[in-house]
């Protein structure tokens, strides 16, 4: 072997080694940020997390604040740009765990920082369509994917035009879910009748929220299905994971408290519609789509699509579908390693405290036997709680006890 060939080989080897050491930055907080951090770290990717100093993720064994004089707390905007500029990293991959963070990062390509900080992201316009309920409803109607009828509300006249008599039930929800949830602590509001609907809308409108009215899709909590996954830069779907929500809390507009993995064949028509939607939008990145099966005709109706890591992203990872690792590979233009579609079926995940509340909120006549529920909890992955990473679970428990005592 010549010296030139040997030097070239050594340089290539060093380049690959350095390339593998490129860190990721999980941009998120709470359960989503923690799940993103764990998913990246367990894939062997050196990971930092941009989150507040008192976040649950700071108790993880894998926690590392972003490098620099002042760790970045994950707040986006001009200050975040300055934080990235000053960060002593030659290159890193950013993985969003919130809608506004995903939208903000979609503008990163093309900026002076794009050579240093990589992201697997769709266009800003595509993300806006998926995140804004008004735009989302209009787009779904245009391409013909089943969804709840949605009506934009800007005035009392818009409410008067809603065909209440044709709809099963109607509720008010925000066009921007994240902003609304942070301000009110809720995902939406029921209104018993037209008069109450007017009152609720007026109060929320005065607070500056952009609102929509959406028909209620009949069915129980177990009629909710979710398809999680990843779509890469070439339009492939290397990761897909389907689950069924068994219980949620609060009962009307809550989050999953107990869910199980199901085969993709069980959500066939829903997956077909989602694939079409992602194709039309030329979507790239992590996604989690929620559907509800209409109890009247069995039709899957799409409710929303999260455009980033979600609360239960770690559950998918523990079942072999690590979309955070896929986002990392895709952002660096590496081949994305696909996961098996024969992931474990019937695996379950429980948020124990919330699920306990969910069970108590059920009608006693329809509540499952206690031994069955206890068996479900014993066989499940526990959300936040992990024996090999106990810190976050202990912190969550302490905060729960403290809240109860005070």
The backbone torsions φ and ψ at residue 241, rounded to the nearest 5 degrees and listed phi first, read -150, 125
Q: Are 348 and 247 in contact (CB under 8 A)?
A: no
Q: Residue 379: its pLDDT value, please?
A: 94
Rounded to 10 deg, the angle between the 124-131 and 133-143 helix axes is 100
Q: Residue 155: its pLDDT value, please?
A: 81
Identify the CA nearest to 310 among candidates 240, 229, 403. 229
Residue 73 exposed, middle or buried by CB count within 10 Å (0-12, 13-18, 19+): middle
* Residues listed for the chain: 406
Express each pLDDT in 266-308 by its tens digit: 999 999 999 999 999 999 999 999 999 999 899 999 999 999 9
Q: Are 226 and 288 in contact (CB under 8 A)?
A: yes
Q: Residue 91: its pLDDT value, please?
A: 96
Express each pLDDT in 167-217 by its tens digit: 777 888 877 777 777 777 677 777 767 777 888 888 887 787 888 888 888
Give the domains, in start order, of the chain with CATH numbers.
3-122 (3.40.50), 149-215 (3.30.1490), 221-405 (3.30.470.20)
Mean pLDDT by 10 residues, the chain (406 residues): 39 41 95 97 97 96 94 91 93 96 93 94 96 92 92 82 79 76 73 76 80 85 95 98 93 86 97 98 98 93 96 97 98 97 97 89 85 93 94 88 80
Token pair 């902003």: residue: 179
Express each pLDDT in 302-330 by its tens digit: 999 999 999 999 999 999 999 999 999 99
The CA distance from 156 to 201, in Å, is 9
The CA distance from 28 to 57, in Å, is 9
The backbone torsions φ and ψ at residue 276, rounded to the nearest 5 degrees and listed phi first, read -65, -45
Q: Residue 2: its pLDDT value, please?
A: 40
Residue 54 neighbours by CB distance under 10 Å: 11
The backbone torsions φ and ψ at residue 195, rounded to the nearest 5 degrees and listed phi first, read -65, -45
The CA distance from 160 to 322, in Å, is 47
Rounded to 10 deg, the angle between the 30-42 and 323-331 helix axes is 70
Tell me the whole-structure pTM to 2 decimals. 0.89
Q: In what order do the strands lie in the sheet with 117-118?
A: 47-50, 24-27, 92-96, 117-118
Q: Residue 20: its pLDDT value, please?
A: 55
Residue 216 neighbours by CB distance under 10 Å: 15
The contacts of residue 180 (CB under 8 Å, 6+ apart) are 173, 174, 186, 187, 209
């Amino acid at each position: 072997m010549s010296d030139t060939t040997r030097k070239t080989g050594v340089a290539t080897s060093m380049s690959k080694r350095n390339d593998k050491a490129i860190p990721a930055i999980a941009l998120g907080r709470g359960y989503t940020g923690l799940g993103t951090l764990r998913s990246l770290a367990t894939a062997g990717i050196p990971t930092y997390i941009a989150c507040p100093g008192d976040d649950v993720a700071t108790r993880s064994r894998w926690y590392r604040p972003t490098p620099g004089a002042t760790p970045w707390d994950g707040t986006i905007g001009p200050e975040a740009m300055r934080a990235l500029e000053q960060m002593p990293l030659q290159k890193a991959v950013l993985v969003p765990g919130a809608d506004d963070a995903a939208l903000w990062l979609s503008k990163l390509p093309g900026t002076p920082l794009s050579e240093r900080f990589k992201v697997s992201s769709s266009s800003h316009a595509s993300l806006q369509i998926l995140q804004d309920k008004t735009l989302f409803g209009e787009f779904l109607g245009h391409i013909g994917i089943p969804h709840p009828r949605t009506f934009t509300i800007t005035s009392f006249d818009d409410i008067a035009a809603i065909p209440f008599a044709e709809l099963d039930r109607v509720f008010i929800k925000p066009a921007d879910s994240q902003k609304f949830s942070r301000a009110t602590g809720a995902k939406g509001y029921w209104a018993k009748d037209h008069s109450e609907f007017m009152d609720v809308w007026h109060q929320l409108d005065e607070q500056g929220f952009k609102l929509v009215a959406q028909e209620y899709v009949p069915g129980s909590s177990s009629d909710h299905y979710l398809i999680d996954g990843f779509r890469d830069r070439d339009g492939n779907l290397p990761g897909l994971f389907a689950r069924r929500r068994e219980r949620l809390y609060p009962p009307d507009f809550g989050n999953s408290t107990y869910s199980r993995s199901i085969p993709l064949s069980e959500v066939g028509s829903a997956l077909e519609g989602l694939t079409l939607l992602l194709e039309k939008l030329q979507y790239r990145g992590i996604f989690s789509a929620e559907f509800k099966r209409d109890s009247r005709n069995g039709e899957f109706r799409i409710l929303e699509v999260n455009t980033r890591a979600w609360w239960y992203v770690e559950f998918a990872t523990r079942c072999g579908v690590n979309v955070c690792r896929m986002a990392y590979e895709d952002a660096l233009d590496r081949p994305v390693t696909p996961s098996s579609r024969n992931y474990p079926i019937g695996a379950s995940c429980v948020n124990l405290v919330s699920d306990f509340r969910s069970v108590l909120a059920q009608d006693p006549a329809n509540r499952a036997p206690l031994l069955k529920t206890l068996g479900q909890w014993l066989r499940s992955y526990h959300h936040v709680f992990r024996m090999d990473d106990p810190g976050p679970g202990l912190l969550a428990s302490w905060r729960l006890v403290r809240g109860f005592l005070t």
